[in-house]
Amino acid sequence: MAQPRILILGAPGAGKGTQSANISDEFDVEHVTTGDALRSNKQMDISDMDTEYDTPGEYMDQGELVPDEVVNAIVDEALSQADGFVLDGYPRNLEQAEELEDMTDLDVVLYLDVSEEELVHRLTGRRMDPETGEIYHVEYNPPEDPEVEDRLEQREDDTEETVRERLRVYRENTEPVVEYYDDQGTLERVDGEQAPDDVWESVKETIEDAA
């Protein structure tokens, strides 16, 4: 089988990072994320675009959002350099989904389907060890050392109010992308509420069947 070109969709907390790493290892494809692509192309010359800055890095240094057209160009560049890939974190809106059509032909579009309450449970249960930066979960992955457990902190990003707002923004912007692929008949839904190993089995089978 040629190296597949895979898009993985899902809300924050759905497990995209874990499954993307599994896909990358199993199918020997590159894990392309918008964050990594931006960081590795910080000095890309975008002076021919009608943008405020001449490189993506200048937006990042100013703490500003990188415009869609720049993100599109960077993702296009990253995908053109990969034989096969799992794309994670893009497209975030319908315009980007339409751009992606022009960049590449996807073999599989995966959607990790997880209910909002389960996502809230997963994300609000995350805790960080301020001394090591390690991430734990109060239920799924608690630390073995009681001392570590006592010093764990909840990050501001993981409070219920913030989590629900992140999910609202996701629904508003990215759910139309899910519907876009569903309407095309290319979306493969995977039950993301199974145990991680079972999710991986479903993901693997779906890719093998489709690619």
Catalytic residues: 16, 92, 126, 155, 166
Tokens of 147: 């001392």
Known binding residue 125? Answer is no
15 is in an annotated binding site: yes
5 labelled as ligand-binding? Answer: no
Q: Helix, strand or coil for residue 28?
A: coil
CA end-to-end span of the chain = 7
Q: Is 91 annotated as belonging to a binding site? A: yes
Q: Rounded to whole angstroms, how far apart are CA atoms 187 and 110?
A: 6
Tell me the C-alpha distance between 96 and 68, whole Å.
8
3-state secondary structure of 101: helix
Contact status, residue 14 vs residue 119, Cβ threshold 8 Å: yes
Q: Does 130 count as an annotated binding residue?
A: no
- Lookup: tokens for 112: 């990790």
13 is in an annotated binding site: yes
Residue 90 known to bind ligand: yes
Which positions make up the binding site for AMP? Answer: 34, 39, 64-66, 89-92, 96, 155, 166
Which positions make up the binding site for ATP? Answer: 13-18, 126, 135-136, 194
Which positions make up the binding site? Answer: 13-18, 34, 39, 64-66, 89-92, 96, 126, 135-136, 155, 166, 194
